[in-house]
Amino acid sequence: MTSVQTDLVTRSPLRLAADPSRVVTQLFVPGQEGFEHQESRAGVVLARILALTEEDVQFALDDVVTRFDGRHRDLLGTFHRHADVLADRLDPVRHLSDARKVLLGAAFTSEYAIEGAALCNPSMVAHPDQTGIADGGLRFVMSVRGIGEGHQSSIGFRTGTVTAAGRVSLDQLSPFATTATATQALLDGAVFRNELARLGDAGESADYVLDALGDRFTRADLEEQLDTLQTNMRTRGHARATIADIRSIADRSYSVEFANDTARSERVLRPAMGAEAAGMEDARFVRFVDDDGAVTYKATYTAYSGSHIRQQLLETSDFRCFTSKPIVGRAAANKGLALFPRRIAGRYAAMSRSDRETNTVAFSDHLLVWAESAPCQQPLNAWEVLQLGNCGPPIETDAGWLVLTHGVGAMRTYRIGAILLDLDDPTKIIGRLRQPLISPAADEQDGYVPNVVYSCGALVHAETLVIPYGISDSAIGFATVSMPALLAALTG
């Protein structure tokens, strides 16, 4: 367990900065911006638009299209969809010109700069499509956390390549940023039972609903059973609260599908439920290979409601279609769950920080339920005295599981370290750097959150460890480390 030498790490001159021009459209209802406690002003705004002359309508619409058309894919289609939201407020007999309808939709649309405040917390995995890549190279997908107005976080993506020599380059970014509508996803009975038990609501009303549904069921099946409970609850006094809890858990499962003609770097996952209304934070992606050889990409992330944090699991095979489902259990009670890239002895495994300050290891037979974790790493050094955590999923090497860690020390400075865990028993540390691998350099101290270098996932290619890392939450940098040299430092 030796100290790491500073010449282990090579910083790339490549930096990815937050781009305030990356904007998405969203429905805007005046009076419902989130800080007013009154009814919306939709009615009076609608009346004003209906009172305009056709000439004024066309003039205003031409101005909107001229200023915004090149900033969004299918802008007029978005305006039409937002106008349809107001259909119940319109006189069905009154005919509206197409121009007036489009202007109506534009009045109820706003832009949101997904990276307007910050860009950070990258996580890098091998791209699912390696066709056409140069010899010795590797194409990657990198998730990023964009932070916009109100500190709301979303998950975006970049793509690029790593050469055999470890040089990182990024592909050209799509000129658009696009979101997709969330739809219902299949629900998991084990999640409901464990979360209801945590809430102290695992009584006969819950059993009445869940016993009739089995292990997997649809939202429609669940609602049918809840309706049955509601009509038979005269002898079940706690049923109303149980129904509310069950629906709250069900709301945390959804699917998102992007159009085929959108680029990966165009796709943005934005909050789609109340539990993540204030943000989707710190996605840790891993290329997961199951025992049968099936490959999926999974990411744990923190859903933040504005007052509570919860863990969610994203799954995708192509970075076009995603599902998000709740992760429950004591070991998933805090931020920072990171999945191992395969099962260990037939069980799922994850790095956990359920106590908020140390690294532990959890095992589970169910990917969404993490009951307990075992101790692994305690803070020992000055640069990690406040807390420890992981900097992404463990990476398998012949020598052991390489885990990049983050340590927080004086002046709330975040640094990146490394440990090596036993392949068969990852609760056992077999190597540990006494000094940090990456500390904030002089030009990395200032930003949205100062004195922070932080990663949510690195990858290894051609004996080079590639670490994308957030720089004080204002930019993303890239560092490379020789794997033989790092393993020698860990085990020497």
Count of structural domains, the chain:
3
Do 276 and 242 share a structural domain? no
Do 443 and 307 share a structural domain? yes
The encoded tokens of residue 373 equal 């974790």
- Quick check: 284 pLDDT over 90? yes
Do 200 and 78 share a structural domain? no
Average pLDDT over residues 383-393: 97
Asked which of 86, 113, 140 is the last residue of a domain, the reply is 113
Q: Which residue has the tokens 């121009």?
A: 99
CA-closest candidate to residue 381, choices 458, 437, 455, 337: 437
Average pLDDT over residues 111-115: 97
| Confidence (pLDDT) at 2 | 35
| Alpha-carbon span 78 to 148, nearest angstrom | 21
Residue 208 lies in a domain: yes
- Quick check: 6 pLDDT over 90? no
Residue 351 lies in a domain: yes
Number of neighbouring beta carbons within 10 Å of residue 394: 26
Residue 64 lies in a domain: yes
CA-closest candidate to residue 456, choices 401, 405, 384: 405
Residue 1 lies in a domain: no
Arithmetic mean of pLDDT over the chain = 94
Residue 164 lies in a domain: yes
| Alpha-carbon span 192 to 210, nearest angstrom | 8
| Confidence (pLDDT) at 356 | 86
Asked which of 55, 89, 113 is the last residue of a domain, the reply is 113
Range of the domain at 243: 186-250
Do 392 and 382 share a structural domain? yes
Do 327 and 409 share a structural domain? yes
Do 336 and 208 share a structural domain? no
- Quick check: 237 pLDDT over 90? no
| Confidence (pLDDT) at 4 | 40
Do 231 and 377 share a structural domain? no
Do 334 and 302 share a structural domain? yes
Interaxial angle between packed helices 54-68 and 75-85, expressed in degrees from 0 to 180 and rounded to the nearest 10: 130
pLDDT in tens, 74-106: 999 999 999 999 888 888 878 899 999 999 999
R_g over Cα of the chain? 25
Percentage of the chain with pLDDT > 70? 97
Do 451 and 344 share a structural domain? yes
3-state secondary structure of 103: helix
Read off the CATH number of the domain in which 444 is found.
2.115.10.20
Residues forming beta bridges with residue 222, ordered by sequence position:
none
| Confidence (pLDDT) at 33 | 63
Asked which of 227, 250, 273 is the last residue of a domain, the reply is 250
Provide the pLDDT confidence category of residue 448 given band limits of 50, 70 and 90: very high
pLDDT in tens, 10-63: 999 999 999 999 999 999 988 776 555 566 788 889 999 999 999 999 999 999
Do 66 and 10 share a structural domain? no
| Alpha-carbon span 210 to 189, nearest angstrom | 7
| Confidence (pLDDT) at 38 | 64
Do 235 and 162 share a structural domain? no
Do 440 and 344 share a structural domain? yes
Q: Taking a C-beta distance cutoff of 8 angstroms, is the pair 400, 470 a contact?
A: no
Residue 272 lies in a domain: yes
pLDDT in tens, 413-434: 999 999 999 999 999 999 999 9
Average pLDDT over residues 302-326: 97
Percentage of the chain with pLDDT > 90? 88
Phi, psi for 346 (deg, rounded to 5): 85, 0
